[in-house]
Structure 1
Amino acid sequence: MTKLSVNVNKIATLRNSRGGNVPNLVKVAQDIEAFGAQGITIHPRPDERHIRYQDARDLKKIVQTELNIEGNPIDKFISLVLEVMPTQVTLVPDDINAITSNAGWDTVRHSDFLEETIKIFKDKGIRTSIFVNPDIKMVEGAFKTGTDRIELYTESYAQNYENGNLGGILPFVEAAKRATELGIGINAGHDLSLDNIRYFKEQIPNLLEVSIGHALIAEAIYLGLDNVINMYLKKLI
């Protein structure tokens, strides 16, 4: 079964919009695990506009499954990850002003930087993953950095699927096959939803984990969080 890690950034966004602590991010994360999710993902950004750095510290104390921290490995982010010691760190090449992630790493151009950064985390026993586009060259570049996993950036798949173009999955299939040949674990995330997740899961070999936030939280507004998490789990069997 592919693991479901729930990104709780949107919960933090809602909390921050009013100040205070409603909804309580820690309680929501505990509930998400109780409903069956196998991981919690957070993506703190330098301005802390949704997830705050303190949230990472608070979640580390209570998460019973796997804690995945995503972000651009600037010095502040690296220090946070080494302090919190999550199960996994996912490196994402975010521009500081990006609303959301919008590209994978150029693992060839940034090979030396990624290799040095990944070594810092792996030396501390933290599993590493790199956010990449579905491009075989980028997968091969990721392999040379020493990363444990890649996370396939799935926005183009989601757009093609919505437009009825099932062929949009093909670059992801080829990238996943190459990753498997190289012994790299495969994660995926961005714009995956209840509508498109099953087909993606069925087509991608050896898919270990999906990280889903925006769509899942939006769907939960209509259908309920417990119900939506279990709907995902059934599609990921």
Structure 2
Amino acid sequence: MGIRVQGVDKTYKSGEVTISALRDANFTIPDHKVVTIMGPSGSGKSTLLNVIGGIDRHQSGEVEIDGRQLETLTNKQLTEFRRKYAGFIFQQYNLIPTLTVEENVEVGRELSEHPLGLKEMLEEVGMWDKKDKFPYQLSGGEQQRVAIARALIKNPDFLLCDEPTGALDEETGKMILKLLKRANEQFGTSVLIITHNQGIGDMADITIKMKSGEIVEKVENDSPIDPEKVTWA
């Protein structure tokens, strides 16, 4: 059934100033797609992702995820929704520094009713041989791979990624994109990626373009390229 956003508004108060982070946002995304969300800083990309993921509440409009109306859910139900159906990956890896690679991923596994196998997932992201290392012993790319494993092991319906390659070099960034694409193909996970990199949009099935809190364009791509061929910028 996918994702449906209709007439969504989201405002914030900053002192006496009201900021319109989302204004009458409208779009639909079918299941099992790779989607990029693009636009300048302050255009509402992260707010949109947080609303879809049930982290933030919108003031008006409807957000429907696979038939679930998020605005009708209580805070407890929203927490359950995030736990069961959503995976989150951020530019800051948010690993627990006192836990090993294996233990960090196990945290994600314990949140799910239908998790994937721990060894399988660490092998999938190429980190099984470093399962006993701590985050400070890993490179940025390795930490991001652990963060992806932690999100994917939940076996989520959709994966929300906020600038997951923003702090990475081209080679490592493309490795991360390949992992996200593989998750989409192998597990049927819907993947939404916020990015400033125009080239990443070429690997997506759909690109949503934002400006000043508004959805200004939705572009469908009939021929997504392989992540290895993404032009880095």
TM-score under structure 2 normalisation?
0.44
Higher relative contact order (CA 8 A, sep 6+): 2
Structure with bigger helix share is 1
TM-score under structure 1 normalisation?
0.44
Structure with bigger strand share is 2
